Chains A and B, each alone.
Chain A
């Protein structure tokens, strides 16, 4: 069916004068008419959908503006977070603050707004610490929208900058990590960067935890003891012109580290002028040949394996020649001496012969059980792996006996020595305070009897041997000296020593164990030219124990006859020696 009217509607070729007739579109059957009907019905539907859409939008508008039933999970951004510090404090075992977070102001500039960069630079250089006028001026002229001028300013400086009233200078509130004890606990606590991420020490080891919790982290360290150890080790370094030193105190039963000092140290509050060597933690990251201190382990092994008793004799008259090496003693003897004397006089020849009795495999296994062949387990990232012989030849067995040919960290030496004196039970060391009264179960490494015999020997060293300078009346100190020649480029250097002393008291039931190492001490007139442990580390240990015991409310012990008899070791010619003193 054709309709002239409808054909005309869209027919571009139609005559211009054409006018449609009135009845045309009324043709109900025409496809276009039907399509038009359909479009009207569907137009209503489309309109209805728009009505719904606009209604939903209106309701949502009312919802978010007036009713404020905001989705709860969207709210946090809207809430300001005033005075909520992002990092937990670190405190010592008595709650003294070792690391805390302060709110500070950091100064920045919008160089586009600064009209007089030179004048601004001149004014700021006078106020801001450690700034350079020329450099400031160059940066202020850069035209950049955001320039850090100085992070973490003190309130005084903030006031002074505000006084200037220069537009384009503004402050950004920030947080700064502050270490109120300064260098005192620097190696333990560590430090963090400008944005408060832990970079070293406890700060790094507990980075995530410190960032996530508000509760302070309580360390096992006691800043009072830390200060004592630092002073006394520093004194030894000064007296003997040494290059560095270490001092550690540990609770024998709980394994808590009460003090851990590494000198020279650094101020974590000012990381801009740091000498790299000062950051190095000698206690855990340094590994050293500890020297005769290892005779504690060597003697324990021989006694535990029943290869010797305190009274067994060993021939120490002749130096041992093995390959191109020669093992000799500092105090050569003209006759065989007992195990007790070997320990007391620190005989290398005797120790080497004792070690051969047990053999290299047993020695390696025993040192392994003491944790000396793997990195120390402690909550610090700065822990070094020990160096030890591989393969473990007889020559190694002999040198390891007196602490050469094996390098370990001072901390792991202390942990191992504690296992020997702590009734033969090894307890894990920690820098985090243990709950009151809690004692870790520990693992037994030697028998109670061997431990007792070793404690007798340690006491002997202090009463009659190389460690006399460590004795503190009333506290029954035991200990062992160790003077190692340091390895230089070509073998051992006679003049470069590491002088160490392991101290423990009271010897009948050890409470605390200490280690002091002095790196490259030089003899003085007062020490008769000696730089050995007995003259350097032992006196430092003596001073530390004499100061710490009263502080920890430890009463002096009366050395009863029982204790005296139990801890007195006899050896051939003892009376004569005493008479000579």
Chain B
């Protein structure tokens, strides 16, 4: 691409300041996403009686849209990103509250809002928006010249969101949101004693979920004893990896997608393992790791606390989702309904990821001088 160093257009400045390695990694992940949609979702679509390419069309239409959003957001300055985040957070919180009123109930949880042909899962958009706003508020608290009571607002927002998510119920999103807040507070210098308290609250919360929420109870029991019959998905999933071996059975040659109801979403990594093999799976893990660590490394150079916290929060969200998804597919942790970023099918998840990673790209762009935000 011939873009001159001296090119001062928005495009030109973006090209020379953005982290092009991360862009490449994200584009490759999107490519895998398109591949997996074609590999895994026709079987799922057939099983539920939809047109074979129902999910494929959907996903292939959404992937370019996601990349456009990602690019558009990454053009913005950190300040503008903050504004975008604030607007997104406001809208998605309202929609989140509305799920209780006009939400569609799917598999016992009210997480979706139908808007014409589209249905939106507001909690997906809450995550990146909250990560950025939370970072800004925590940075404000550290700034002696600011009077904004950042910590208090963060606490209030966090409790509000968690209350709504548990009401839905959506334990997975609760965990991710909590992890974002915890990670950002940790980076903002949370005293070690409070870090320990936070960790204990997290463990306590999971224990409470185990005893209070029946579906969490059964998930964990089944993880501990898959022979009880409930470990069907995980057993099939491990079988898929084993079938795939080093090089996989070839695209479309897998069978796990015929058995797993969530083969195109939560268990897409198993389909990848069966059809493309260990090497490709390791490449995918490497890509996720690269995006997270490369982002962290860029943030090390950053002079502005808000940017560091926001970028890190977004990357924690991205990395944690990947880790939880892959770990549960590999039977390292109990199954948790969580999408694998860019690879799983899911419109809201994909668009929200575009937004979030666009923010990461924007925040990690080279800004010369100091803590300037423009």
Contacts and interface: CB of A to CB of B under 8 A. Distances in A.
Contact of B241 (A5, A24, A54, A61): A61
Given A57-B285, A78-B239, A35 B186 contact: no
Contacts of A73: 226-227
A112 interface: yes
Interface residues on B, range: 35 or more
A277 interface: no
Among A2, A5, A24, A50, residue most surrounded by chain B Cβ atoms (within 10 Å): A50
A50 B327 CA distance: 13
Nearest to B248: A65
Contacts of A58: 282, 285
A112 B49 contact: yes
Interface stretch (B160-168, B288-296, B341-349): B288-296
Nearest to A67: B242
A20 B239 contact: no
A56 B285 CA distance: 11
Interface in B295-319: 296-297, 299-300, 303-306, 308-309, 312, 316, 319
Interface in A1-51: 2, 5-7, 9-11, 20, 22, 24-25, 31-32, 34-36, 38-40, 42-44, 46-47, 50-51
B308 A36 contact: yes
Contact of B281 (A10, A53, A65, A74): A65
A35 B369 contact: no
B330 A57 contact: yes
B140 interface: yes
B241 to A, nearest CB: 4
Contact of B278 (A11, A20, A66): A66
Interface stretch (B16-24, B53-61, B110-118, B228-236): B228-236
Contacts, number: 164
Interface string B263-282: 00000000001000110011
A60 interface: yes
Contacts of B238: 64, 70, 74
Contact of A60 (B140, B286, B308, B332): B332
A65 B304 contact: no
Contacts of A38: 187-189
Given A9-B372, A39-B187, A42-B187, A51 B289 contact: yes
Contacts of B299: 43
A35 B189 contact: yes
Contacts of A51: 289, 293
Contacts of A78: 235, 239, 242
A39 B305 CA distance: 8
A22 B370 contact: yes
A61 B226 contact: no
A61 B278 contact: yes
A294 B278 CA distance: 83
B281 A35 contact: no
A73 B285 CA distance: 27
Given A22-B369, A22-B370, A61-B273, A68 B188 contact: no
Given A47-B296, A73-B226, A56 B332 contact: yes
Contacts of B285: 54, 57-58, 61
B296 A53 contact: no
10 contacts: A5-B370, A6-B143, A10-B136, A25-B303, A31-B142, A31-B143, A35-B305, A46-B186, A60-B332, A74-B238
Interface of B: 49, 136, 139-140, 142-146, 183, 186-189, 226-227, 231-232, 234-236, 238-239, 241-242, 244-246, 273, 277-278, 281-282, 285-286, 288-289, 292-293, 296-297, 299-300, 303-306, 308-309, 312, 316, 319, 323, 326-327, 330-332, 369-373
User: 4 tightest A-B contacts by CB?
Assistant: A54-B289, A65-B278, A38-B189, A64-B241
Given A43-B187, A66-B246, A77-B236, 16 more contacts: A9-B372, A10-B139, A10-B143, A24-B371, A34-B189, A35-B189, A35-B305, A39-B312, A50-B292, A50-B319, A53-B319, A54-B285, A54-B289, A64-B241, A64-B242, A70-B238
